[in-house]
Chains A and B, each alone.
Chain A
């Protein structure tokens, strides 16, 4: 009887589970479907699909503010991603490898604090710093440099978390083996450590690139006259009302991101399978190291 009840529970759980998961996925994807469908709408109307057209894509390309914003955001995100990964790697090394030095507690706090700090406060306090520096040194004006600094402050924190977890899982005996074989510290780093944490560096770069490319709040605080990132342009359009050009931009973004993520996960899965094969091949000693003298 108990087994029967368990079977029944399992049945209910399975079906309720499927239904619940379906509903939540629907909730998560409704806005994406909406953006894609209505980017092809023939009129400005939001509630009714009046017919297929690509006029909003043409309008998007003709909108110089959106296009300029796109190139600025791209530049900011490329630099932010790279800077964040470099600084994040340093910070991750410090957290994983240097367990004792003066001020480690403060360092730990500082690395993690931007993750829980509201962006409004990061933006405001950096703005106050930039104004103070600008008054004393006459440089930098609010704009490109200040936005990159703000984004990198946040991006570094995220990059550190990603790289740190990979670095702490890394097998340190590999580095010891390299040193035993006569590698100098720099060679160990470039030939052993770096290839080992490379996937984490790529993920961290993609994550910080995305964060920067998408950020509104920090840019709103730190941008100056004439310097407007793509999200800032979208934000100002969005507050004014319906603008299907933005739906068109969104559709392009969704397509690029989905293709990127799908091909990246296929690549990761293939790589994992190949690794598994190699490890299991190596685990069979007679294949990996054939015995030169046949045993009797």
Chain B
């Protein structure tokens, strides 16, 4: 009886489906279409940041599709110098930024795997009673600000920072190491931030593993090392793939870490998109760069979905 006014109100499935559907169409799909549309137009003149796609002149329609935003990513148009030799393929600051991004994303994935795999394995083999506490300790830093934790590394790795001072006072090094604004600080920062994303899926996978299989391998004469490579690793393949995706994909588009811990040589594509948009005010090129970035992410993603659907087809986990 308490719910009498409510019981007459039946929103039905149309509302339940319609509300999130419309929200996503409006704020996810539609903006992406605008991005695509702007990426194939000229820069605007004067007030408009980009030119119209369709121009009406003398009663006829002209579609102004422009591909040069994409061309300029892969090929340097040069300052006045034209032609294949003068321009040079794949020799632009944009290509450099893409390559740098993929390089750091790959290295980060490898480091996270090297650190996270044994770690997840040992948690999975710990007593069942302590596992939730161990996992909570992994998650706790994640709930405090990501930005502040990255900022802390700046103070730790600086020339006059904590680490250098510690090593100097211990006599390990004679003069401070330059770590900040180099590959070292970039990789420490990125590995640090993305490590939990590797540990959690690996743990979820390894904790389900039947460790009697390892005993069986021992009984059949396999050494611990061999049993690990022939039993544990193949069984945890889906965890490795999932963790690697969760690390690689956000790493490619990373924006904050290169800004705080990277130097002039560590420019990643996220930063370049930002600069094209807000410093050069070149909206079409920023859009084209973003579209190529999405394509870059779709490649490993497609591979991931294919490998997981293969597994489903074979009836594995």
- CB–CB A29/B162 < 8 A: no
What's the interface size class on B, roughly?
A: 35 or more
In the bound complex, residues from chain B placing their C-beta under 8 Å from that of A91 are: 20
In the bound complex, residues from chain A placing their C-beta under 8 Å from that of B290 are: 120-121, 124-125
Instruction: Verify if B287 is at the interface (C-beta below 8 Å from A).
Output: yes
Shortest B20–chain A CB gap in Å is: 4
Query: Once bound together, how far apart are the Cα atoms of A200 and B167, in whole Å?
Result: 46
Complex: chain A residue closest to B283, CB-CB: A128
- Report the number of A-B residue pairs with Cβ-Cβ less than 8 Å: 235
Complex: chain B residue closest to A207, CB-CB: B143
Query: Once bound together, how far apart are the Cα atoms of A113 and B192, in whole Å?
Result: 25
Which one, A21, A119, A127, contacts B255 given CB within 8 A?
A119
- CB–CB A216/B147 < 8 A: yes
Which one, B25, B155, B219, B297, contacts A110 given CB within 8 A?
B25
- CB–CB A24/B158 < 8 A: no
Shortest B265–chain A CB gap in Å is: 17
In the bound complex, residues from chain B placing their C-beta under 8 Å from that of A46 are: 155, 158, 160-162
Complex: chain B residue closest to A118, CB-CB: B253
- CB–CB A32/B149 < 8 A: yes
Chain A at the B interface: mostly helix, strand, loop or mixed?
Answer: helix
Which of B29-37, B61-69, B70-78, B86-94 interfaces with chain A?
Answer: B29-37
Complex: chain B residue closest to A251, CB-CB: B148
Instruction: Verify if A289 is at the interface (C-beta below 8 Å from B).
Output: no
In the bound complex, residues from chain A placing their C-beta under 8 Å from that of B255 are: 118-120, 216-217
Query: Once bound together, how far apart are the Cα atoms of A265 and B135, in whole Å?
Result: 12
User: Contacts A118-B293, A129-B31, A234-B148 given: A257-B140 contact, CB under 8 Å?
Assistant: yes
Shortest B293–chain A CB gap in Å is: 6
Question: Interface on B for A, CB 8 Å cutoff?
Answer: 3, 6-7, 9-10, 13, 16-17, 19-21, 23-25, 27-32, 34-35, 38, 115-116, 118-119, 121-123, 125-126, 132, 134, 136-141, 143-156, 158, 160-162, 164-165, 192, 195-196, 215, 218-219, 224, 245, 249-250, 252-256, 259-260, 270, 273-274, 277, 283, 286-287, 290, 293-294, 297, 301
Given contacts A90-B19, A246-B148, 18 further A-B contacts (CB under 8 A): A13-B125, A13-B224, A17-B121, A28-B137, A31-B150, A90-B16, A110-B28, A125-B35, A128-B34, A185-B10, A186-B9, A187-B6, A239-B259, A246-B151, A249-B148, A250-B151, A250-B152, A257-B143
